[in-house]
């Protein structure tokens, strides 16, 4: 279940899940069926397992749709985390970019933030990179421009400005307080 949780909205293809768990497809289907029954029968669980075109993902149970709608309408779910803002900035300045490239820049794993940004329609998949594994390429969406009130990426602050400010601030520190 941890793999499905980390995969988020993208889910994991049946074949890939079997490889990751190092089991054959029949054993995987048996485990998936048991997990599905466990989640469906657990009245305290708000999630269930879904299969979309041989791609498994965890989704919320429809019985919670009213309270989830209320949550998102309340504005409580609208703030982006610091990590999501970092990822969004990286995508905006370096697009098209893969998750691995984002992870390399940040030094930490970014799939959760990417899933959040995809769900909020601030970034989107825009093809595959022509390298082994063919990872997804991410770019900002039209909604990103509307949300931030800009017409194009040229309206973003120059990244060199941030780099110069950071260098100046480091140089100002003399160790005396």
Compute how many other C-beta atoms are within 10 angstroms of the C-beta atom of residue 84. 20
pLDDT in tens, 137-147: 999 999 888 88
pLDDT > 90: percent of the chain: 48
Rounded to an integer, the average pLDDT of 156-174 is: 57
Residue 85: partners with Cβ closer than 8 Å, 6 or more residues away: none
Query: Which domain CATH number covers 147?
Result: 1.10.10.10
**Are the C-beta atoms of 118 and 145 separated by less than 8 Å?**
no
Q: Are residues 37 and 106 both part of a single domain?
A: no
This prediction's pTM = 0.52
The predicted pLDDT at position 20 comes to: 92
74 lies in a domain? no
| Strand order from edge to edge, sheet including 47-52 | 12-13, 55-60, 47-52
Band of pLDDT at residue 22, cut at 50, 70 and 90: very high
Q: Are residues 61 and 102 both part of a single domain?
A: no
177 lies in a domain? no
Residue range of the domain that includes 99: 82-168
77 lies in a domain? no
Band of pLDDT at residue 26, cut at 50, 70 and 90: very high
Q: Are residues 50 and 87 both part of a single domain?
A: no
The predicted pLDDT at position 148 comes to: 81
Rounded to an integer, the average pLDDT of 98-126 is: 92
3-state secondary structure 101-125: HHHHHHCCCCHHHHHHHHHCCCEEE
Q: Are residues 95 and 151 both part of a single domain?
A: yes
pLDDT in tens, 58-103: 888 989 888 887 776 665 666 788 999 999 999 999 999 999 999 9
28 lies in a domain? yes
pLDDT > 70: percent of the chain: 86
For residue 156, give the 3-state DSSP assignment: coil
23 lies in a domain? yes
The predicted pLDDT at position 74 comes to: 63
Rounded to an integer, the average pLDDT of 155-173 is: 59
The predicted pLDDT at position 62 comes to: 87
Band of pLDDT at residue 171, cut at 50, 70 and 90: very low
**Which DSSP letter does residue 133 get?**
T
> How many domains does the chain fold into?
2
76 lies in a domain? no
Q: Are residues 155 and 91 both part of a single domain?
A: yes
CA angle, 8 then 14 then 16, to 5°: 80
């Amino acid at each position: 279940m941890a793999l499905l949780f980390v995969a988020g909205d993208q889910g994991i293809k049946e074949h890939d899940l079997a490889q990751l768990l190092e089991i054959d497809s029949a054993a995987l289907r048996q485990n998936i069926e048991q997990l599905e029954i466990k989640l469906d029968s657990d009245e305290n669980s708000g999630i269930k397992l879904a299969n979309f075109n041989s791609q498994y993902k965890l989704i919320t149970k429809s019985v919670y749709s009213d309270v989830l709608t209320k949550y998102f309408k309340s504005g409580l779910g609208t703030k982006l985390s610091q990590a999501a803002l970092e990822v969004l900035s990286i995508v905006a300045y370096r697009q098209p970019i893969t998750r691995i490239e984002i992870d390399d820049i940040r030094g930490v794993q970014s799939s959760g933030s990417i899933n959040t940004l995809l769900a909020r329609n601030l970034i989107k998949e825009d093809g595959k990179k022509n390298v082994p594994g063919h990872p997804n390429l991410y770019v900002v969406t039209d909604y990103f421009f509307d949300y931030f009130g800009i017409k194009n990426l040229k309206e973003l602050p120059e990244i060199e400005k941030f780099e110069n400010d950071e260098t100046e601030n480091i140089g100002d520190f003399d160790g005396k307080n």
